[in-house]
């Protein structure tokens, strides 16, 4: 499931191993030791604090120690350095959600915690902290802005006279947009208040602010992010992190040796054309052939292309024998955008109706069609085939619901194995089974999540209450239908409650 994350694991390992051993230089007095009695106060009152959460036994923490000390030594006049021993101060680390050691996080006046995700060597961390300790918006002249452009940097410009409300909102966004600096330009800048400059394409984009109270930070971040994204860059962690939650397609161009100039030009051109919809990455096979295979290529032919929608996880794998030229790629992109391209599915073929059991089983091939059926309320159940608990739900309470609802032709129900590759994160599968009712009417999709473990009664009630197409509640099944069931399953809701504490999470984090 979610093979794209393989890439993250891989690069994290590469980064972890790249740690430089810095020389020992003990200046511990520059690093504040924070504990349960002395944490919140410190974090809230200092302008900028960089905190290291560690455990005494952890190897990477030991390797980081001298680097962290050097960092503190060099930068202690710009910000404060602190550390928390998570063995001694468990509450703090729990509260902060520390999941691995060491974790490094930056705080500004207690707010906007930012976990450091870069390489753990002196230079990278210093660079990060020097940037972080700059004033949020730097007043600048037209000449300075021209200099920045020459350095091929990307940045945000706000008119010095811009409304305070916008300025204040921008200041709050600084940590979210740490890959972009903010400059205020104090001139008779003509017709815009807010703009970004893409240092790679050397283009400037103006942000339309309709009304002040509608100025939405998150929208601006997403906009600025895609507008300033490098046109065709070797994929790396910081770049990937920028777009991993955006609703965009990422095209991965896998190559060996060097990238032909015509391809470089082709993808840079396409990146401008499809700005905001498609991101273009190159990926040298020597970084990881496994990644090439995880995106469903043989690893024998280069260059090859895979496309994945980062949000929906839809995957498209281009034939290895196709010629990469403008017309082919353009058509391929267009066919993805107009929904006619062939999706790549990991999961098995659809299951024949005659092989179906109590509740109809979907696979990636027919899932989308099922949940977008017009004129029907569709109940979809996410479960995991190999989990006994799922067998129980599907053969007992939900099978009864299926039987009871048989005569209602505005209703359909089915289930899908949540441990396969085909389910996008939008379904929020933190527990299984998870039940949704999805309805399509007049072009609108309504999706309701059931928040209880499904019993026959509460599922019937859930459908009744949320169905767009109303129906008469069908009577419970006559007694004789119950004969072949085990005696314990008589009371569904009681049984469901008992099962609740054995709920497993689908793989989600384990495979990271
Ligand atoms: C720091 O800022 C410079 C200049 O904008 C930029 O090139 C660099 O990537 C930034 N470094 C980090 C770690 O954010
Ligand atoms: C979708 O795009 C492809 C490629 O441009 C084109 O050949 C096809 O006719 C389009 N289909 C629809 C339904 O628009």
- Among the candidates 113, 132, 151, a domain finishes at 132
Is 507 contained in some domain? no
- In a shared domain, residues 143 and 24: no
Ligand 1 center to 161 CA (angstroms): 26
| CA 113 – CA 172 distance, rounded (Å) | 12
User: What pLDDT is attached to residue 511?
Assistant: 25
Is 508 contained in some domain? no
Instruction: Give the distance from CA 332 to its chain's centroid.
Output: 25
Measured from the CB, is residue 152 less than 6 Å from ligand 1?
A: no
Record the tokens describing residue 426, joined without a space. Answer: 């939008």
Is 185 contained in some domain? yes
Strands 434-441, 444-449: pairing is antiparallel
Is 342 contained in some domain? no
Residues 289 and 259 sit within 8 Å (Cβ to Cβ)? no
Is 477 contained in some domain? yes
Binning the chain into helix, strand and coil, the percentages to the nearest 5 are 35, 20, 40
Residues 148 and 155 sit within 8 Å (Cβ to Cβ)? yes
Please enumerate in sequence order all residues whose Cβ is within 8 A of that of 57, keeping only pairs 6 or more positions apart, or say none: 87
- In a shared domain, residues 412 and 490: yes
Record the tokens describing residue 158, joined without a space. Answer: 């706000």
- Among the candidates 184, 205, 227, a domain finishes at 227
Measured from the CB, is residue 153 less than 6 Å from ligand 1?
A: yes
Is 68 contained in some domain? yes
Range of the domain at 444: 353-502
| CA 295 – CA 325 distance, rounded (Å) | 21
Beta bridge partners of 105: 51, 115
Residues 268 and 260 sit within 8 Å (Cβ to Cβ)? no
User: What pLDDT is attached to residue 479?
Assistant: 67
- In a shared domain, residues 19 and 91: yes
- In a shared domain, residues 68 and 113: yes
* CATH number, position 185: 3.40.30.10
- In a shared domain, residues 127 and 143: no
- In a shared domain, residues 185 and 252: no
**Which phi and psi (to 5°) does residue 90 adopt?**
-55, -40
- In a shared domain, residues 407 and 441: yes
- In a shared domain, residues 359 and 496: yes
Ligand 1 center to 11 CA (angstroms): 20
Measured from the CB, is residue 128 less than 6 Å from ligand 1?
A: yes
Number of Cβ within a 10 Å radius of residue 249? 22
User: What pLDDT is attached to residue 412?
Assistant: 94
- In a shared domain, residues 39 and 98: yes
| CA 194 – CA 180 distance, rounded (Å) | 14
- In a shared domain, residues 492 and 393: yes
Mean pLDDT value across the chain = 81
pLDDT in tens, 98-146: 888 999 999 887 666 788 888 899 999 999 898 887 777 888 888 888 8
At residue 69, the 3 state secondary structure works out as helix
pLDDT in tens, 203-242: 989 888 777 667 778 888 889 999 999 999 999 888 888 8
User: What pLDDT is attached to residue 327?
Assistant: 96
User: What pLDDT is attached to residue 65?
Assistant: 93
pLDDT in tens, 245-285: 888 999 999 999 999 999 999 999 999 999 989 999 999 99
Residues 385 and 419 sit within 8 Å (Cβ to Cβ)? yes
Is 357 contained in some domain? yes
| CA 250 – CA 307 distance, rounded (Å) | 6
Q: Which amino acid residue places its CA nearest to atom 2 of ligand 2?
A: 335
Ligand 2 center to 342 CA (angstroms): 12
Q: Can you point out the beta strands (E) in 73-193?
A: 80-85, 103-108, 111-115, 137-140, 155-159, 181-185
pLDDT in tens, 42-66: 888 888 899 999 999 999 999 999 9
Beta bridge partners of 259: none
Which of 318, 335, 339 is the pocket-test mutation for ligand 2 (most atoms within 8 Å of CB)? 335
Which of 119, 127, 175, 181 is the pocket-test mutation for ligand 1 (most atoms within 8 Å of CB)? 127
Confidence of residue 402 (pLDDT cuts 50, 70, 90): very high
What is the number of the ligand 1 atom nearest to the C-alpha of 155?
5
- In a shared domain, residues 308 and 260: yes
Is 385 contained in some domain? yes
Share of the chain above pLDDT 90, in %: 38
Out of 61, 86, 93, 390, pick the active-site residue.
61
Measured from the CB, is residue 181 less than 6 Å from ligand 1?
A: yes
Does the annotation count 61 as an active-site position?
A: yes
Instruction: Give the distance from CA 58 to its chain's centroid.
Output: 28
- In a shared domain, residues 241 and 327: yes
- Among the candidates 197, 212, 227, a domain finishes at 227
- Give me the number of domains the chain comprises: 4
Does the annotation count 58 as an active-site position?
A: yes
**Look-up of token digits 């860059």:** 233
| CA 260 – CA 265 distance, rounded (Å) | 9
């Amino acid at each position: 499931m979610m093979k794209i994350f393989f890439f993250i694991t891989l690069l994290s390992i590469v980064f972890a191993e790249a740690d430089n051993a810095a020389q020992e230089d003990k200046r511990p007095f520059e690093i504040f030791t924070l504990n349960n009695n002395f944490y919140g106060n410190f974090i809230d009152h200092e302008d900028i604090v960089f905190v290291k959460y560690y455990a005494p036994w952890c190897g990477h923490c030991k390797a980081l120690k001298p680097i962290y000390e050097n960092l503190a030594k060099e930068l202690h006049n710009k910000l404060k350095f602190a550390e928390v021993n998570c063995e001694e101060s468990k509450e703090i680390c729990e509260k902060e959600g520390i999941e691995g050691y060491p974790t490094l996080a930056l705080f500004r006046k207690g707010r906007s915690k930012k976990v450091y995700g870069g390489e753990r060597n002196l230079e990278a961390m210093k660079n990060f902290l020097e940037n972080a300790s700059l004033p949020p918006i730097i007043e600048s002249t037209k000449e300075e802005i021209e200099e920045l452009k020459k350095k091929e940097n990307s940045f945000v410009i706000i008119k010095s006279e811009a409304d305070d409300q916008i300025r204040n909102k921008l200041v709050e966004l600084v940590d979210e947009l740490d890959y972009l600096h903010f400059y205020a330009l104090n001139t008779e800048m003509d017709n815009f208040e807010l703009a970004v400059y893409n240092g790679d394409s050397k283009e400037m984009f103006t942000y339309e602010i309709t009304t002040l109270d509608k100025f939405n930070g998150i929208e601006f971040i997403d906009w600025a992010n895609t507008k300033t994204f490098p046109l065709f860059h070797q994929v790396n962690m910081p770049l990937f992190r920028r777009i991993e939650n955006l609703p965009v397609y990422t095209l991965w161009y896998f190559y060996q040796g060097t990238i032909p100039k015509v391809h470089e030009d082709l993808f840079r051109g396409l990146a401008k054309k499809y700005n905001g919809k498609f991101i273009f990455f190159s990926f040298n096979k020597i970084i990881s052939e496994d990644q090439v295979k995880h995106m469903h290529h043989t690893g024998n032919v280069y260059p090859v292309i895979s496309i994945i929608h980062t949000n929906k996880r839809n995957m498209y794998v281009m034939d290895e024998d196709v010629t990469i030229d403008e017309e082919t790629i353009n058509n391929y992109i267009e066919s993805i955008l107009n929904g006619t391209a062939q999706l790549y599915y990991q999961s098995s073929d659809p299951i024949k109706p005659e092989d179906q059991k109590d509740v109809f089983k979907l696979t990636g091939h027919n899932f989308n069609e099922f949940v977008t059926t017009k004129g029907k309320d569709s109940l979809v159940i996410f479960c995991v085939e190999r989990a006994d608990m799922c067998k129980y739900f599907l053969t007992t309470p939900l099978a009864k619901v299926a039987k009871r609802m048989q005569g209602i032709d505005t209703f359909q129900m089915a289930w899908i194995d949540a441990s396969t590759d085909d389910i996008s994160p939008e379904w929020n599968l933190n527990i299984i089974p998870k039940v949704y009712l999805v309805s399509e009417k007049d072009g609108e999709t309504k999706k309701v999540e059931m928040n209880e473990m499904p019993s026959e009664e509460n599922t019937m009630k859930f459908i009744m209450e949320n169905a767009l197409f109303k129906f008469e509640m069908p009577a419970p099944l006559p007694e004789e239908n119950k004969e072949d069931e085990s005696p314990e399953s008589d009371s569904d809701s009681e049984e469901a409650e008992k099962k609740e504490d054995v709920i497993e999470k689908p793989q989600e984090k384990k495979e990271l």
